[in-house]
Amino acid sequence: MNVHVAALAESHRFDQQTTAFAGDVIDDLSQVPKRLSPKYFYDATGSELFEQITRLEEYYPTRTELSILRDQSGAISAMVPRGAALVEFGAGATTKVRLLLNECRLGAYVPVDISGDFLKAQADALRKDFPALGVYPVTADFTTSFALPNAIGAMAKVGFFPGSTLGNFEPHEACAFLRSARDILGQGARMVIGVDLEKDERVLYKAYNDAAGVTARFNLNILNRINRELGGNFDTSAFTHRAIYNRDRHRIEMYLISRKAQTARVLGHSFSFRPAETIHTESSYKYSLERFSALARGSGWTVLESWTDEASMFSVHALAVSD
Ligand code: AVI
């Protein structure tokens, strides 16, 4: 972070997270082409909009992954050692982890997320429903290195990374994340991971350009967040949402497109837009089984088994740390 942002953060009495947000926004909007990091979608409003997305008819990933976790629960639990600690990287709705908790005889559950308040609420609900389970939340950015709780030291470790969140990482970031997860979980660890698959482009297009406009509101909310938290003055009605499929890079790309020539100010910085100029807000990579397996191999993991739904829309994999 540059000295200027640090001074601004100090004068605005920003906490650590808001300071990092300010630094990233100013850096990313100064790039050519402009961009913003998708990790900033998820304030309270963004998280609620994402929950709405997961219930949309066009957005197949969530319900398809749930159906795989349900249909293959026996085979998946066979990959999870009895008494293991399940470490979930990022903690969203508890629906998916509940399926594993019901099926596998776990010793402990360790949700890891940057949002401490959300984690606490989630942990309390699980403790009520699974009184015998040790629940040890860790407040941390799961893409960085963090320490596991001492209480699970002696237990086998299984990572859980559902939702194809891996797809929102650039390939080098996905590799770095898988390597870091391997280092955190340690020798002998396993991992259950959900990954979205390549498919008919029309299906992908509709999933990210839904008719009700929820994804558009989700995308635009990042500008609202900049206005709210950093005192920006973006006119959100002067931007439109667009998602396209980039076949060569196997990824959906989401953009905010300026409807006109305009200037927005954030923390004393001016960002000028030409008409139709874009901000790249998210990439969502889609993998084939082969390309995911190669990524896992190159990141210190071996694919033990892969499961898909009948239409091959989504995949769930059991991985083991390579020797
Ligand atoms: C969280 N992530 C896997 C979602 C995705 O599909 O890439 C985020 C999302 N963006 C638009 N719709 C959903």
Give residue-wise pLDDT tens across range 149-172: 999 999 999 999 999 999 999 999
Q: Look at ligand 1, atom 7, and give the residue with the nearest C-alpha.
A: 284
3-state helix, strand, coil in the chain (%, to 5): 40, 25, 35
pTM of this prediction exceeds 0.85? yes
Residue 122 is predicted with a pLDDT of 87
Q: If you take atom 1 of ligand 1, which residue's CA is the nearest one?
A: 165
For position 93, what pLDDT does the model report? 79
Q: Identify the pLDDT of residue 7.
A: 85
Q: Which residues approach ligand 1 with their CB closer than 6 A?
A: 53, 61, 163-165, 167-168, 208, 215, 282, 284
Distance CA 82, CA 74 (A): 13
pLDDT at position 260, please? 98
Given the CA of residue 164, which atom of ligand 1 is nearest to it? Answer: 3
Predicted pLDDT of residue 1: 62
User: Mean pLDDT, 10 residues at a time, over the chain (323 residues)?
Assistant: 79 89 96 97 93 97 97 96 96 88 94 86 91 94 94 97 97 98 97 98 98 98 97 98 98 98 96 98 98 98 98 98 91
- What long-range pairs does 256-263 form, CB within 8 A, spacing at least 24? 256/219, 256/220, 256/222, 256/223, 256/281, 262/235, 262/238
What is the pLDDT, as a whole number, of residue 254? 98
From 40, 65, 208, mutation site for ligand 1 pocket: most ligand atoms within 8 A of C-beta: 208
